[in-house]
Structure 1
Amino acid sequence: MSVRQFDDRTVTALVADAVLAPSMHNAQPWSFHYMTADGVLHLRADLERAMPRTDPDHRALHIGCGAALFNLRVGAAHLGLVPEARLVPDADDPQLLAAVRLWPGGADAAPDAELSRLYPAIRRRHTSRYPFAELEIPQPVRETLQEAAEREGAELAFAHPWHADFLLELVYDAECRDVLDPAAREELERWTRLGADADTAVDGVPEYAFGPRKSGGKAPWRDFAGRRPTTDRGATAFEYVPQLALLSTRGDEPADWLRAGQALERVLLGATLADLATSLTSHALESRDLRSLTQDPVSGTGQVQMVLRLGYGPQGPATPRRPVRDVLTVT
């Protein structure tokens, strides 16, 4: 395949798809650099958007960037391109996470039809902080989502009810710790947007996406408001039997975290196409000692990178995104 230079409009469209990926507290910790002569797009970590207290190792940052990388791959396939993504952890340039060379589709290589099929879900996927129905996800749908994780070198395991209850206890433990930790509260407040700021924000979790307060149920739920006054969101019961799934990788290095992010987004987009609502809970993974307990002691393997909550319920609202011009440079 010959190298082809793509115009700014094509690259802008790809990055516009990429930035719709989920990230911890919607911090959007990424930037992109397209080198026109080489036809290569670099994905870089934006460490100014890191969370020293919640994510000291930048594990969650890498997962968010991996999810953005997967969206970019989907967008490229949708445009008839063949993205060749290479993870490039570099001790001399730790902020460089991946390099993507874009090839035109043709006789040598056809665009990935399975990636392209996921494209409509990129804009439909939103985190839902609402109750889900007490309706079990069919086994064929579960298997499809597990296969999606496997395609990206990860494992998705649905938690048995007893293990789900244990995970919820870990989440509750993490919540109690945060209440007593001023640094944790400060970091959460930095990435939440209240009042008029919610209507003009380009990042963070806006007040309108907090969801209702929980009056009952067992589903994991993070109160982004904390002790701060907010508009009345109402209160409601969440599901008593939440359907949780653990996303794991064999290793636990930066490249594994990037793979986990790509697997996570592949699962989330597939779930969206299957009319499932989705949310993520990383609370029990933010402390090393709690994270080590999340693995299923009977069947679990690898390192747990994310806990997903899946079910049938309302999709959450879209959350703000930084303009492409703020995250993309072209040379």
Structure 2
Amino acid sequence: MMTPSARQTALHTAVSAAVRAPSVHNTQPWRFRLGADTIGVYADPDRRLPIADPDGRALRLSCGAAIFNARVALAHLGWSAETTLQPDAADPLHLAEIRLTAPHPATPGDQELFTAIGRRHSNRGPFMDTAVPMDVRARLVAAARAEGCWLDLILGPVAQHMVAELVDTADRLLRATPGYGAELASWIRERPSPDGVPRDAGGPTPEPQDLLTRRDFGGAPRAPGRDYESDPFVAVLGAYGHAPHDDLQAGQALQRVLLTATACGLATSLMSQPVDVPAIREQLRLGLHRGAPPQILLRAGYAVATGTTARRPLADVLAPMPTVTRGT
């Protein structure tokens, strides 16, 4: 029988893993509340991007990734857990409740994913022109499927250029949106910070010859001969619906894919511009022949390792338990 202190240690470890999840501009839009054997996962509306993410879809995707990290950490520590999405209809900010159920031996797969949590980070620089092996591609597709979602690989020059055009069009539309540039700039960091994207982690300055248009985080121009890969590995991830709980499900699938890629030695980065513009998102859905809109674009490949971005301390993301007033 696990003691209450052992349960609390496991829950704190799970939250420490949860905050390593990716989020757009490293906004970290989550809060957590610990019970005796539960982790409540909450949206932090103050960290939503009102211009780029007006309906909170990207926020929920990020929180879904955090939920998956917490699940992996608990499994690694030898706990089985039940996760309920949107457990309180009266509180839309309460996105999930993770409850410890019983001790359960960790599997090699649990250990592999947990080890990848600390190593996974977005690499926005050029990747090597080395093809991702077929068996690794199959593992990534299976990882999305294991979380009830789909991952479509963008194969061949025709499909790649179709997606590249949608990315470029979406990026131009977003940059023309009033307030978008200021919102992006507010998350670029010039000095060490527990959130946001440091300039040196944002990748080099985009150039016209790049196939995939990236966000400009004000990085330095890249060295000659360091162009981005001409045949990038790109995939699109989505759920089978488009309700808020599907966003959370997609976030969990995304993180399983990213951790699987990390375990396979791949670097990854994310592109959200074409799913941030509703009309472009619909064009991408139609091009993929999917019934529900895509959630995120994933780029993967082999690359020189780069540093990780910082995270807020646990004290900033752990909300106090509500005070219960007892009658006399």
Q: TM-score, normalised by structure 1?
A: 0.90
Q: Which residue of 2 aligns with 1:274?
A: 264
Kept after mapping to 1: 8 A contact 2:268/2:301: yes
Alignment of 1:155-304 (within 5 A): 155-161=150-156, 162-194=158-190, 198-199=191-192, 201-215=193-207, 216-225=209-218, 234=223, 236-295=226-285, 297=287, 299-304=289-294
Deviation at 1:186, TM superposition (A): 1.2
2:82 partner amino acid: E
**Aligned counterparts of 1:212 and 1:27: Cα–Cα separation in 2:** 21
**Aligned counterparts of 2:96 and 2:196: Cα–Cα separation in 1:** 24
2:212 partner amino acid: A
Deviation at 1:300, TM superposition (A): 3.9
Kept after mapping to 1: 8 A contact 2:112/2:263: no
Deviation at 1:142, TM superposition (A): 0.7
Deviation at 1:90, TM superposition (A): 3.9
Kept after mapping to 1: 8 A contact 2:174/2:277: no
**Aligned counterparts of 2:69 and 2:259: Cα–Cα separation in 1:** 9
1:165 partner amino acid: H
Alignment partner of 1:118: what SS? Answer: helix
Percent of matched pairs sharing the same residue: 38
Alignment partner of 2:259: what SS? Answer: helix
2:24 partner amino acid: M
1:60 partner amino acid: A
| CA deviation profile, 1:182-239 (whole Å, cap 9, x unmatched) | 3110110111112xxx22x1111111201222443313421122xxxx6666563111
2:71 partner amino acid: R
Give the superposed CA RMSD. Answer: 2.1
CA spacing shift, 1:82–1:4, aligned 2, 3 Å = farther
Moved more, 168-177 or 2-11: 2-11
Alignment partner of 2:130: what SS? Answer: coil
The alignment status of 1:19 with 2:5, answered yes or no, reads: no
1:237 partner amino acid: D
Q: Which residue of 1 aligns with 2:325?
A: none
CA spacing shift, 1:79–1:46, aligned 2, 3 Å = same
1:49 partner amino acid: R
Kept after mapping to 2: 8 A contact 1:280/1:306: yes
Deviation at 1:48, TM superposition (A): 0.4
CA spacing shift, 1:313–1:152, aligned 2, 3 Å = same
Deviation at 1:296, TM superposition (A): 5.8
Deviation at 1:167, TM superposition (A): 1.2
Deviation at 1:146, TM superposition (A): 0.6
Among 47, 70, 73, the alignment partner of 2:71 is: 73
| CA deviation profile, 1:117-137 (whole Å, cap 9, x unmatched) | 211100110101111122221
Among 140, 143, 150, the alignment partner of 1:148 is: 143
**Aligned counterparts of 2:288 and 2:50: Cα–Cα separation in 1:** 33
**Aligned counterparts of 2:164 and 2:239: Cα–Cα separation in 1:** 21
Alignment partner of 1:156: what SS? Answer: strand
CA spacing shift, 1:103–1:330, aligned 2, 3 Å = farther
- For structure 1, the 5+ residue unaligned runs are none
| CA deviation profile, 1:46-78 (whole Å, cap 9, x unmatched) | 000001110111110000000000000111111
**Aligned counterparts of 1:14 and 1:30: Cα–Cα separation in 2:** 14
Q: Which residue of 1 aligns with 2:315?
A: 325
CA spacing shift, 1:155–1:112, aligned 2, 3 Å = same
- For structure 2, the 5+ residue unaligned runs are 322-328
Q: TM-score, normalised by structure 2?
A: 0.90
Deviation at 1:163, TM superposition (A): 1.8
Moved more, 70-79 or 157-166: 157-166
CA spacing shift, 1:53–1:325, aligned 2, 3 Å = same
